[in-house]
Amino acid sequence: MWRALIFLALAAPAGAETLVPTRTIRAQDILAPEDLTVIARNTPGALTDPLEAIGLEARSTLYANRPIRPADIGAPALIDRNQIVPLNYVTGGLRILTEGRALARGGVGDVIRVMNLSSRTTVSGRIAADGTVHVGLAP
């Protein structure tokens, strides 16, 4: 009898939760606690904890009751498209500071393309917390 109960307990499906929006959220909106809820559904690859999403920005439109995946959200944008941004290139003892025009939106840690205003060359760089775009080996 005990073996049957243990088998049934182990065979029962594990409870799983999925994070979903409570309403349709437009791209570029910041997620607040009232925008999210957890439902009892197992969705592979979807977020499960509201704390993973609160304060982040929707990268695309999020529809009510559809699972939120990590790629659907990100850090709030610090740089907008066409914004003039400082470019910083550091390698060894060489440091070059100049300005560029952002060719995409992005938040801290995102890699975006930027056009160097002096040379009209397009480069890719990572956005730092101060809004500087680091190109090359810079952190």
Task: Answer yes or no: is pLDDT of 29 > 70.
Answer: yes
Cα 34 to Cα 5, 30, 39, 57, 81: the distances in Å are 41, 11, 14, 14, 29
- pLDDT score of 11: 42
CA 84 to CA 79: how far, in whole Å? 9
Given CATH 3.40.190.10, say whether it is the number of domain 77-136: no
Share of the chain above pLDDT 70, in %: 87
Number of Cβ within 10 Å of residue 25's Cβ equals 23
Task: Answer yes or no: is pLDDT of 16 > 90.
Answer: no
Residue holding tokens 């997620």? 31
Residue 110: exposure state from Cβ atoms within 10 A (0-12, 13-18, ≥19): middle
Task: Answer yes or no: is pLDDT of 30 > 60.
Answer: yes
Q: For residue 10, what pLDDT band results from cuts at 50, 70 and 90?
A: very low
Spans of all domains in the chain: 15-74, 77-136
Cα 56 to Cα 13, 53, 72, 120: the distances in Å are 32, 6, 10, 33
The residue-averaged pLDDT of 100-123 equals: 95
Residue holding tokens 């594990």? 14
Task: Answer yes or no: is pLDDT of 8 > 90.
Answer: no
The dotted CATH code for 15-74 is 3.90.1210.10
